[in-house]
Amino acid sequence: MIILCLVVGVVLSKLKSFPKNAHIGINAFIFYVSLPALSLRYIPNIDYRYEILFPAAMPWIIFILSALLFLVLGKIFNWHKHLVGCLILCCGLSNTSFVGFPLLQLFYGDEALKYGILADQPGSFMVMATLGIFTTIYFQQGKGSFKPVAKKIIKFPPFIAFLLALCLTFVDVPSSLNHVFETLGATLSPLALFSIGTQLTWQTKNFEFLPFSIGLMYKLFLAPLVIYLVYSLLANPQELIIKVSIVEAAMAPMITGVLLAIEYKLRPNLASMFATVGIPLSLLTTWLWYLFLG
């Protein structure tokens, strides 16, 4: 299904009869229905122990390391600030939901989703909505502000659902309602992958191979390796919550980070290629990490 939905999205996007920007409507359904339903279905069933900090903290660690790495490399190679900003946004944010959730279900079943949501909502989404937006504005304009960030977070439907789901932890949710949440949440995987397929474009004009290869190497190999080494010292790497944290760290660049880089003219061609190459390639590399973890 993962490959089929991606391919169908790519093929249909090339047809003249296919609506332009169809992904906007699809993404709206995902953000307003599918993701909130998943939170409401799985978050209330989480066993609250200190280990839940591992998936939530992972995206923050990856983004901060990304910023440090590419700021240093930018100084060494004398890269333009737009290039540095593009690398931080595209390689510091993981696609923990659109690609992450389908792969977690494939590798570990539905049980892994409740930990995947922790990696996505208080993790990747919060990083994107705070540090990601700040990075975008700073590298585009030379200055940044956190003032608009809080409003964006509060109004984001999946985050509202995440907070509501935390409250449902103390409530006995009827099984019939859980079934509704589960059915609606099941729409995320095919819709998200199809949406990604419609947005993949091949842009090789003025292509910068060195920063592109370093960025993908960090995102798909170095970042999950760091998480694996650090988390193995703090917990049992064979626990499902740790495996989910590591595999989510190995996911492809986040579509939202790529779109931010494109929207704010931070090397848009390079940003597009991170999604076009990174997402299909991550299907292989995350499987290798899955095998490595056992």
Say which residue, 36 or 58, is predicted with more confidence: 58
Place of tokens 């609250």: 48
pLDDT at 277 over 70: yes
Q: Which of 87-101, 140-154, 195-209 is predicted least confidently?
A: 140-154
DSSP state of 139: H
Residue 156: the pLDDT is 73
Say which residue, 71 or 145, is predicted with more confidence: 71
At 249, is the pLDDT very low, low, confident or very high (cuts 50, 70, 90)?
very high
Q: Which of 48-52, 88-92, 154-158, 235-239 is predicted least confidently?
A: 154-158
**For residue 85, what are its two tokens?**
């900003």
Mean pLDDT on 84-108: 92
pLDDT at 88 over 80: yes
Burial label, 58 (beta-carbon count in 10 A; 0-12, 13-18, 19+)? buried
pLDDT at 60 over 90: yes
H-only helix segments in 172-239: 175-185, 188-199, 209-217, 223-234
Residue 145: the pLDDT is 59
At 149, is the pLDDT very low, low, confident or very high (cuts 50, 70, 90)?
low
pLDDT at 78 over 90: yes
- Please state the pTM of the whole predicted model: 0.81
Contacts of 34 (CB under 8 A, 6+ apart): 184, 185, 187, 188, 191, 192
DSSP state of 202: -
Determine the angle formed by the axes of helices 35-42 and 175-185, rounding to 10 degrees.
140
Contact 120, 20 (CB under 8 A): no
Contacts of 16 (CB under 8 A, 6+ apart): none
pLDDT at 119 over 80: yes
Mean pLDDT taken over the chain: 88
Closest by alpha carbon to 43, among 113, 143, 110, 137?
113
At 23, is the pLDDT very low, low, confident or very high (cuts 50, 70, 90)?
confident
Residue 188: the pLDDT is 80
Say which residue, 81 or 136, is predicted with more confidence: 81
199-237: pLDDT as tens digits? 777 766 777 899 999 999 999 999 999 999 999 999 998
Q: Measured between alpha carbons, how far is residue 184 from residues 34, 40, 48, 163, 181 in Å?
A: 6, 11, 25, 18, 5
Domains in the chain, start-ordered, CATH in brackets?
23-293 (1.20.1530.20)
Residue 49: the pLDDT is 77
